[in-house]
Amino acid sequence: MMMKTDKNVHETVRKGYAAIAAGGGSCCGPAKSCCGSGDAAGMAKAVGYSEAELATLPEGANMGLSCGNPGAIAALRPGEVVLDLGSGGGFDVFLVAQKVGRKGCAIGVDMTPEMLSKARKNAEVFRKDTKLGNVEFRLGEIEHLPVADTSVDVVISNCVINLSPDKPQVWREVARVLKPGGRVAVSDLALLKPLPKGVLESVTALVGCVAGAVLVGETRRMARAAGLAEVSLTPNRDYIKSMEDWKDPWYGRIIKLLPKGQKLSDYVTSLYVEARKPAKKGKR
């Protein structure tokens, strides 16, 4: 079997998420998301979003692609600039935009043109409904962010970094764009132990956010190597366990590739990653 290049991985992921943006079901089958339940609202509530938050979103912004709620751990303040890596239809961007207010800014970056188009259409509805014009969506890969150095107060991401073929480069980019003292609040999927070969070779697993995941400890190492400090990792295995109750089609495909008697939650966890870029000496 040929090794997937970075270009191959990007193209596989781009095609999968373009299918979701187009409303044609999931990248791999009949579910409405790649790594979650067909009930997008139910899944969002399961990972920590409130009814009140969801009610403020443009229709279609929530596509069931979350594995956590990074905005909840970001401790956002009015006036801050927030960057969302892999922003999709704008789900988290619209939520954090309301928290940072008119003097703040929420920027979403996504490499899938179809997702970007969807997000920008959603932004028109968002501006009309909230009277806020503080959202922006940019086309780009998270390994090469179209964002200036030291220009962002907070970087968030929701179930996206695991899809990157070059995660160390993503973390270096995160450190580059953060202001000194800037913060990271990421929700992602990580491994508790290595996945079986069959899962690693599955396109369904790749676009479904599992085959690209790395061990929990590796996430800490990459963040620190990029120059980030105060790295805190909080696993949440309940997210994966809940897929069993949803009878998720994507989960069903993956479980068939695992050794008999094993569950996906034995291998994979949702993980909150918090970190900070060190402040310049003499400053807090």
**CATH code of 77's domain:** 3.40.50.150
Question: What φ, ψ does residue 176 adopt, rounded to 5°?
Answer: -65, -45
pLDDT score, position 136: 97
pLDDT score, position 50: 81
Which residues of the chain are under the pLDDT cut of 70? Answer: 1-9, 11-39, 41-43, 46, 63-64, 201-209, 211, 243-251, 281-284
What stretches of the chain show up as alpha helix (H) in DSSP?
A: 6-21, 40-46, 51-55, 70-73, 91-100, 113-130, 167-177, 197-200, 203-207, 216-225, 238-246, 249-255
pLDDT score, position 2: 35
Domain that holds residue 115: 6-276
pTM across the whole model: 0.85
Q: Whole-number mean pLDDT of the chain? A: 82
Q: Is residue 251 part of a domain?
A: yes
Residues 149-181: tens digit of each pLDDT:
999 999 999 989 988 989 999 999 999 999 999
Question: What φ, ψ does residue 134 adopt, rounded to 5°?
Answer: -105, 25
Tokens of 131: 């009277």
Max Cα distance, the chain (Å) = 57
What's the alpha-carbon Rg for the chain, to the nearest Å?
A: 18
The one-letter amino acid at 30: P
Three-class DSSP category at 153: strand
Q: Is residue 122 part of a domain?
A: yes
Look at residues 218, 227, 228, 234 and name the one whose alpha carbon lies nearest to residue 275. Answer: 228
In total, how many domains does the chain have?
A: 1
Q: Is residue 282 part of a domain?
A: no
